[in-house]
Homo-oligomer: A and B are copies of this chain.
Amino acid sequence: MFYVSDRTAITAETIGHSLIAQFEGSPDYREVTIPYVDTPEKAIAVNARINAAAEADGETPLVFSTLADPQTRAGIIESQGLVLDLFHVFIEPMAEALALEPVIKRTRSHRISNLSSYEARIGAIDYSLQHDDGARIKDYDNADIIIVGVSRSGKTPTCLYLAMQFGIRAANYPITEEDMESSTLPAPVAPYPERLHGLTIDAKRLASIREERRPGSRYASVEQCRIEVRRVEALFKSFQIPYINSTNTSVEEIATRVVQTRGMERHSVL
């Protein structure tokens, strides 16, 4: 699988991964990412690599590409690979629907096209970092969402993804044993019931994650994890906090569900 682009190739990788996931039992494959293929000459060099791979393996390479310039695209489209190019397929019908000609500027995607939304996103990352793990609990007024859960249940990556991908100011607050024994919501988050979203996790998985941090500790024992998980789920239920189990769920999936459950607007900038 080749990912070829005149820019970062992140879109090409994303497309390739989405598509290959639809096939089971596909043979093992190697992945080669080639960004910044922005001249016909570079494309011809890539063509040679694709053909060399085809000949070495006796298989058809799959080439996922995002090459805006038709001339550059022409450099690889005749290769021995199966070239699946996003622009090649979709630009023309879009141009017709918009009644506009594409500008074919290689420099457009992944530049900062909208400064204010880019700044909002960087601001969200800053905010989420500053409000990680219960730090600065006094400033939750500005949070779009507050992720709650026991220690090591996946709060931090979730918040960073929410900030990075969706421009959402996501704080997180760790639920302690003390919090779980109380019959009220923890004081710092109590004023914001409608902004809370819970994370839970299977106790065994939690124990193995904690074991890496503090091997052999009570904190990392399966028994302790079981108790905490049971109690935190009871707390979520009694305060009607929506929650999601992070055990087999990627941060992309968790973040998307949080946004949907809480009816928030997402501002993907990529």
Q: What is A's interface to B at a CB cutoff of 8 Å?
A: 7-11, 13-15, 17-26, 33, 35-36, 60, 62, 66, 68, 82, 84, 86-87, 89-91, 93-95, 97-98, 100-105, 108-113, 118, 122, 125-126, 129, 132, 154, 156-157, 160-161, 164-165, 248-253, 255-256, 260, 266, 268-270
A112 in complex: contacting residue of B19, B91, B248, CB < 8 Å: B248
Each complex incorporates copies of this chain amounting to 2
A15 in complex: contacting residue of B15, B105, B129, B161, CB < 8 Å: B15
A110 in complex: contacting residue of B94, B122, B252, CB < 8 Å: B252
Q: Which residues of B contact A20 (CB under 8 A)?
A: 94
- With A22-B68, A35-B256, A62-B97 known, 19 other A-B pairs at CB within 8 A are A8-B256, A17-B269, A19-B91, A19-B94, A21-B109, A22-B87, A22-B108, A26-B98, A33-B268, A82-B94, A89-B89, A110-B256, A111-B253, A125-B157, A129-B132, A129-B156, A161-B164, A164-B164, A164-B251
Q: Which residues of B contact A95 (CB under 8 A)?
A: 23
Report if A60-B97 is in contact (Cβ < 8 Å); known contacts: A17-B270, A164-B160, A268-B13: yes
Q: Which residues of B contact A82 (CB under 8 A)?
A: 93-94, 97
Q: What is the bound-complex CA distance between A89 and B83, given in angstroms?
A: 12
Residue pair B249, A112 in contact (C-beta under 8 Å) = yes
Residue pair B14, A250 in contact (C-beta under 8 Å) = no
Residue pair A86, B10 in contact (C-beta under 8 Å) = no
Closest B residue to A8 by beta carbon equals B256
A270 in complex: contacting residue of B8, B13, B154, CB < 8 Å: B13
Q: What is the bound-complex CA distance between A251 and B89, given in angstroms?
A: 28
Q: Which residues of B contact A125 (CB under 8 A)?
A: 156-157, 160
